[in-house]
Chain A
C-alpha cells in the first residue's frame, strides 16, 4: 500500500533531514515537499491526496495552525503531524486544540527526532490502512 506524505517546511535543510528520516520507512512512502502554506494549498487543490501531512509550526507565510483549521473544516480527515523547535506548552496545546494528530519537537538529538518521527508516521499510516 503506497502512501503519499506531504511535508511542509520553509527550511531546505530541515526538509532534507525529514526526507532522510522518512525514507528509512521504505519505498511504500512517497514524499512530496512544499515550502509554504501557499504551495501546500496549491498542491492539495491540484487534486493530490496525501495520506498524511508533516508541517513545521512557523512558516514564512504564516503559522500552520491556520492550515490545521482549514483542513479541519474541509472534512478531509487528514492526520497532521506538527513539528517545531519550540517546546512551549502553549504551542503544543494550541496545535492539539486545532486538530493536530501529533506534535514533535525538533529536539536536541536529530537522530532521536528522526526515529520518533518515523514511529509516528508508521503509526498513523497503519491506522489509515486498518480503517480502509
Chain B
C-alpha cells in the first residue's frame, strides 16, 4: 500500500465564512458611518449591533482555524497506519498552552525522532522522485555506496541505477516498475561500491503518493547483505565439493575391492585343494571383509547422491511405495517372521517416489534388523495429518529400541546405536533425514530401550487441485499452448 504524503486541507468552509463575514462587517461599518449622523435612529442601532456581532464572529473564526489545524495534527499523529498508537509528546506542555502549539510540538518531536533514526540507522534511506533523481539520502548512504552526499545529490541522472551491476540491472528496473505502480517491493541485487568492490544490497521500495493517489516519490530503504550472501555461497560450494569428493572417492574405492574379491576367488579356484579347510576359512574371511567394504562404499555413494541428484516433484501414492518395499523385503520378512500391519490408508504425498521408497525401505528394514532377540518383529505403519499441507507417517516396532544417550546422534551419518552387535553402514537414518528435510519435512523418534521405537516422518501433501476454469476463460490461465 503506498503511503500518503498528505497536505493539510485548507479548511475551505472556514475561509469562506471568514471572507463573507469580513465583507458584511465592512458593509455594516459603512452603514454605521452614514447613519451615525443621527445615532438614535433604529437603523443606526441595527448597524451597530450587526457590526458587533460580525466582529465577534470574525475574532472567533480567526481562532477556529488554528484550533482545527491543531485537531488535525493530533488526529494525524494518532493514525493507526502510522502505528504510533496514541502519541504522547514527551515534553510536557504546561496547562494553558494553546492546543495548536501543543500539536506542533508533538509533530516537531516526532520529526526530530525520525531524523535521529534516519541519521543513525545502519541502512540507507533514499527518497527518489519519479525520474529516479535523489531528493533525499540519509547519511549512511555515503557509507553504503562510497559516494559523498553532494555527489549523489548533484548527479544528473539515475545515480542508483548506475551503480547497480549490469547483469543485475533487470532485477532493479523490475522493482522500480512495481514501485511506480504503487506496489511495495523488495529486491536483492549487486552493486559497485565506489572503492571498486561489489556489494549485495537488499532494498525495500516504498512508493509515496499524494491525496489523489498519484505516486510522487519512492522511498528506498537499503541494507548491505554482502556478508550473508557470501557466507551462504561459501557453504553451498563447500557442500558441493564435499559431495563431489565423497562420490568420486567411493567410486575409486570399488576397483581395489574387485581385485581383493577376484584374487581371493582365484586362490580358492587354483589352490583350493591344498589349502584345506582352514585355508578355505581364511579366504572366506577375506571375501567377507571385501563384501562389507563394498556395502559401506555403496552406502556412501547412495548418501552422497542424495545431495547431487535432482529429486522429482510428483504425486506419490505411499500405499504403492510401501507395497513395493514390502515385496522387496519379503525374504527378510519371512526369515524374521515379521508382522507388518498398515493401520490406515496411506496418503498421496508429493516428492520423489524413488527416494520415498528408500525412506520406507530403510525404516522397515531397520525395524527388522534391530529386532529384539526372541521376539517376533511387529511393525505398525500409520498415517496422520500434520497441519494443512503435511502428512505424518509413523513406523512403530517392538525391537531393541535406542539407548537414550544415542537418541540425539542416530540421524547423523555413520553413527550407530548398536554397532557392536549388528552390522550396518550408519547411513540409513541419515538418508531418511536428508530425504525428508529436502522436501521441507522432518523426522523424529521416540524410543524405549528394550521395548521398541516409533519413527515419525512428515512429508508434504500435493497442492490442492486448481478450481475448474470456464472454457472461454481458459486461455487466460493456461496461456497459449
Contacts and interface: CB of A to CB of B under 8 A. Distances in A.
Contacts of B255: 11, 14, 85, 106
B49 interface: no
Contacts of B258: 14, 17, 85, 106, 110
Given A85-B251, A85-B254, A106-B254, A14 B266 contact: no
Given A17-B266, A20-B266, A111-B265, A11 B259 contact: yes
B262 A108 contact: no
Contacts of B294: 108
B251, B258, B261 pick with most chain A CB within 10 angstroms: B258
A45 interface: no
A38 B265 CA distance: 31
A110 B261 contact: yes
A13 B262 contact: yes
Contact residues of A: prevailing secondary structure = helix
Given A85-B251, A108-B294, A13 B265 contact: no
B280 to A, nearest CB: 15
Nearest to A106: B258
Interface string B213-234: 0000000000000000000000
Contacts of A86: 251, 254
Interface residues of A, number: 14
Contact of A110 (B251, B254, B262): B262
Contacts of B259: 11, 13-14, 17
Contacts of A110: 258, 261-262, 265
Contacts of A13: 259, 262-263
A14 B260 CA distance: 10
Contacts of A109: 261
B197 to A, nearest CB: 40
How many chain B residues sit at the interface, stated as a range, is: 10 to 19
Contacts of B348: none
Interface in B260-301: 261-263, 265-266, 291, 294
Contacts of A111: 265
Nearest to A11: B255
Given A14-B255, A85-B251, A108 B291 contact: yes
B297 to A, nearest CB: 10
Contacts of A14: 255, 258-259, 262
A46 to B, nearest CB: 29
A58 to B, nearest CB: 9
Nearest to A18: B262
Given A108-B291, A108-B294, A17 B251 contact: no
B354 to A, nearest CB: 13
B279 to A, nearest CB: 18
Interface in A13-50: 13-14, 16-17, 20
Contacts of B291: 108
A17 B266 CA distance: 8
A20, A110, A111, A113 pick with most chain B CB within 10 angstroms: A110
Nearest to B258: A106
B261, B291, B294 pick with most chain A CB within 10 angstroms: B261
Nearest to B254: A85
B389 to A, nearest CB: 33
A98 B165 CA distance: 43
B288 to A, nearest CB: 12
25 contacts: A13-B259, A13-B263, A14-B255, A14-B258, A14-B259, A14-B262, A16-B263, A16-B266, A17-B259, A17-B263, A17-B266, A20-B266, A85-B255, A85-B258, A86-B251, A106-B255, A106-B258, A108-B291, A109-B261, A110-B258, A110-B261, A110-B262, A110-B265, A111-B265, A113-B262
Interface of B: 251, 254-255, 258-259, 261-263, 265-266, 291, 294
Question: Which 4 interchain pairs have the tightest Cβ spacing?
Answer: A85-B254, A110-B262, A13-B259, A17-B262
Given A108-B294, A109-B261, 19 more contacts: A11-B255, A11-B259, A13-B259, A13-B263, A14-B262, A17-B258, A17-B259, A17-B262, A20-B266, A85-B251, A85-B254, A85-B258, A86-B251, A106-B254, A108-B291, A110-B261, A110-B262, A111-B265, A113-B262
